[in-house]
Structure 1
Amino acid sequence: MSKRKRIVVKIGSSLLANSDRLTLRYAFLHGVMSDLAQLQSEGYDIVLTSSGSVALGLNMIGKRPEDAGVLDKQAAAACGQPLLMNAYRQVASEHRMNVAQVLVTVDDMEERRRFLNIKNTVLRLFENDILPIINENDTVATRELRVGDNDRLAAKVAQMIQADRLIILTSVEGLYDRDPSDPEAVFISEISDVSDHLLSTTGTSELGSGGMLTKMKAANMAQNAGCETIIAEGIIDRPVSSVLKNERRHTKCLVTGVASSPLEIWLSNRLQVGGTLVVSDDVAQEIVEGTRGVRRTDIISIQGDFTKGDVLHIYNEKGDECARGLTNFSSEETMLLARNLDMSIEDVIGYKTKSDIVGSENMLVLEDRHLQWDAPMDAQKIVMPT
């Protein structure tokens, strides 16, 4: 039996909700679900990542998108999510398709064990020909709803299920070299290096939380996991299959490489920073050359409140990110170990271990194809006692 093709489809709020009335655009919903049902019958495993719950819930709390604060958006998500899923369920049933809801938080996607649990759930849904609809659980998010989370969430899902393609449906045909309202704007049909196009991707829609910049970041995440990304207009008639069959214009972000293991792919694609370490330029160079991990004697400064098993971003003294890896210690333990070099590890933290702070076996050295994160400005320098 041949391997079933896997795709992740991301739909933005502006496609699902009318910007004036903040009501569902049922014509589009019927069009996309009919298309997905047909693709499912042709042997595709599909995950749908869907925005829209906040936009649909704003009417119920008497708010407009431009006036809604964080708590308003969380309350609107609680109101809008049942409306959105009920609409999906009703329309899907007309096409003899079953759907399931999977609500996740950023922490679910960043913590390795929970990430794998979600993956196993999705794979079991595939076995039963059920379409998973994944959305961030905005109602319980403790941080401000960040720009572009659903674009990058879709890329994380694509990485998780080892998808062949990530398809991002939006309100424009694809990427231009500048604002598409400019009459001299040039359409870009194919991209190899996403970083070449970041400066031309500013701006967001009224309803959506992300613009083309977040889609480029999502595409880079997918590229590094061996998944091709397609950015296309969310038309009503066959919005997904028409781009899969190259029947209309779209932007294609090509695969640039595949990490050597699922762990390295997971390390390379982050939604948030768990914590950071700054090491000397010489140590950073040795890390890049693959000769060592991060020892407690290497640390110049620390940022973040992290626990054992979190992913740390490692920077040199110039602020260049050189690697990411799983920490063997919490932030409190790391700080104590770095500040008390004259004491044994056992005397400092109460148990014996030979572990580095970040072992080389659990580290990914960043390459040019990875988009780097800016170094934090508030890292706590290690001050040795006098």
Structure 2
Amino acid sequence: MSNQKRIVVKIGSSLLADSEQLTLRYAFMHGLLSDIAKLKKQGYDVVLMSSGAVALGLNAVGKTPEDAGLLDKQAAAACGQLLLLNAYKQVAHEFGFDIAQILVTVGDMEERRRFINAKNTIERLFENGIMPIVNENDTLTTQELRVGDNDRLAAKVAQMIQADHLVLLTSIDGLYDRPPSDPEARFIERLEDVSEYLSATEGTSVLGSGGMLTKLQAANMAQHAGCSTIIAEGIIDSPLLSVMEGERRHTKCVAKGTPQSAWKVWLTNRLQVAGSLVLKQDAAVALTDEIAPIKHTDIVSIQGNFQKGDILHVYDEEGREIARGLTNFSSEEALVLARYPEASTAELLGYSAVPDVITTKNMVVLEENHLPWEAPTSDRQMVASL
């Protein structure tokens, strides 16, 4: 691991593309890359999370943000990616550094081996002084397999490279305790518990796919990985250094002390739910008192069609999420084990195995200030209630 300071900067589509003409805002890009060049000279490794490909490609496919369907957006991303990266490359060369592109999917972030492969690629680029520009692969991902917003994806990358700071540049100057249009809205400069302000986070921009809610979710993910988050307006002149040096107001979500191991941080911070378990209430209470394996006899219900090695979200019978962990069995296998608790794994599955669905080394009990996922509802796919 490098001793370099590290920062992940996320830029939304509305900052890079004019909302009416759907053309690139070169003035903003120059200000951004000028600041990044200065940060690199100060000793920072920088990853840029950049939206914008879809917006910039819509003219080519004859669509607007309002009437573009999924296939239109995939085609637009294929067109716009060339425009976006060509512009980044030209401007970066003006400031004396080079760039590389990394396109990722949910699977690249959620599957451990692919996550490590992406991390290793970024590390090698850093070694050569090259700035990675990361984005979701909008050309190939379907609606069901998308992260859906670059805010949380940026937080996953910050976790991946053990960044010191995550900067989310947006169209407003930070977080308010209610919609900024309200004359009584109060600006929040420092944030420790994001759950206090979730009710004030509705709305997205015309071009963007994430609003303030996804930024707070990202900040919560980052703070548990030991990374502070800055939410600020993406102005043209010195959009990064002016907030890094405290010259203009912004919202800062502070890191939560020393993070857990990289393994447990990866286990905890998820982008999608592969599946979930509901535990008997006494087993859930015991788990929160002292971490212990989740046994097949503890399970009340199983949700989702998951595979061995997926990360499951664990709930008590009252719907509170209490843990996340890597499953030793597929949903079909776990269902068989839970339905026939007296039989051995060899009898039920055809091979011998310890009947712990999740072991302690592959599980994290959630801290009180970690944002939970809502428990699955009855209209979602339910594999079985036992």
Q: Which amino acid is the alignment partner of residue 236 of structure 1?
A: I
| 1:294 and 1:358 in contact (8 A); partners too | yes
Question: Residues 155-166 of structure 1: matches in 2 within 5 Å?
Answer: 155-166=155-166
Partner of 1:73: 73
| 1:70 and 1:144 in contact (8 A); partners too | no
Q: Which amino acid is the alignment partner of residue 156 of structure 1?
A: K
Partner of 2:61: 61
The Cα shift of 1:333 comes to 1.3
- Identical aligned residues as a percent: 64
- Rounded to whole Å, the distance in 2 between the matches of 1:109 and 1:380 is 25
Q: Which amino acid is the alignment partner of residue 170 of structure 2?
A: T
Corresponding position: 1:292 with 2:292? yes
Partner of 1:328: 328
The Cα shift of 1:229 comes to 0.3
Name the CA shift for 1:365/1:234 in 2 (closer, same or farther; >3 Å): same
Partner of 1:316: 316
Q: Which amino acid is the alignment partner of residue 345 of structure 1?
A: T
Name the CA shift for 1:154/1:20 in 2 (closer, same or farther; >3 Å): same
Partner of 1:190: 190
Q: Greater shift after overlay, 333-342 or 52-61? A: 333-342
For these two proteins, the number of residue pairs brought into alignment is 382
| 1:35 and 1:241 in contact (8 A); partners too | yes
- Rounded to whole Å, the distance in 2 between the matches of 1:114 and 1:34 is 32
The DSSP-based 3-state class of the residue aligned with 2:96 is coil
Q: Greater shift after overlay, 90-99 or 2-11? A: 2-11
The Cα shift of 1:145 comes to 7.6
- Rounded to whole Å, the distance in 1 between the matches of 2:145 and 2:282 is 38
Q: Which amino acid is the alignment partner of residue 201 of structure 2?
A: T
Normalization by structure 2: what TM-score? Answer: 0.96
CA deviation string 1:84-132 (max 9, x = no partner) = 1111111111111100000000111011111111111111111110000
Question: Residues 100-249 of structure 1: matches in 2 within 5 Å?
Answer: 100-144=100-144, 149-249=149-249
CA deviation string 1:6-55 (max 9, x = no partner) = 00000000000000000100110111011101111221100000000111
The Cα shift of 1:183 comes to 2.3
Normalization by structure 1: what TM-score? Answer: 0.96
| 1:147 and 1:210 in contact (8 A); partners too | no
The Cα shift of 1:58 comes to 0.9
Corresponding position: 1:381 with 2:380? no
Partner of 1:269: 269
The Cα shift of 1:77 comes to 1.1
Q: Which amino acid is the alignment partner of residue 311 of structure 1?
A: I
- Rounded to whole Å, the distance in 1 between the matches of 2:367 and 2:204 is 29
The Cα shift of 1:259 comes to 3.5
Structure 2 segments unaligned to the other structure (5+ residues): none
- Rounded to whole Å, the distance in 2 between the matches of 1:79 and 1:345 is 52
| 2:165 and 2:229 in contact (8 A); partners too | yes
- Rounded to whole Å, the distance in 2 between the matches of 1:166 and 1:239 is 14
The DSSP-based 3-state class of the residue aligned with 1:173 is coil
- Rounded to whole Å, the distance in 2 between the matches of 1:233 and 1:4 is 26
Name the CA shift for 1:49/1:92 in 2 (closer, same or farther; >3 Å): same
Runs of 4+ with >3 A deviation: 144-148
Over the aligned positions, Cα root-mean-square deviation in angstroms equals 1.4
The Cα shift of 1:313 comes to 0.4
The DSSP-based 3-state class of the residue aligned with 2:294 is coil
- Rounded to whole Å, the distance in 2 between the matches of 1:41 and 1:373 is 40
The Cα shift of 1:70 comes to 1.6
| 2:303 and 2:383 in contact (8 A); partners too | yes
Partner of 2:85: 85
- Rounded to whole Å, the distance in 1 between the matches of 2:147 and 2:184 is 28
Structure 1 segments unaligned to the other structure (5+ residues): none
Corresponding position: 1:42 with 2:42? yes
| 2:18 and 2:24 in contact (8 A); partners too | yes
Q: Which amino acid is the alignment partner of residue 381 of structure 1?
A: A
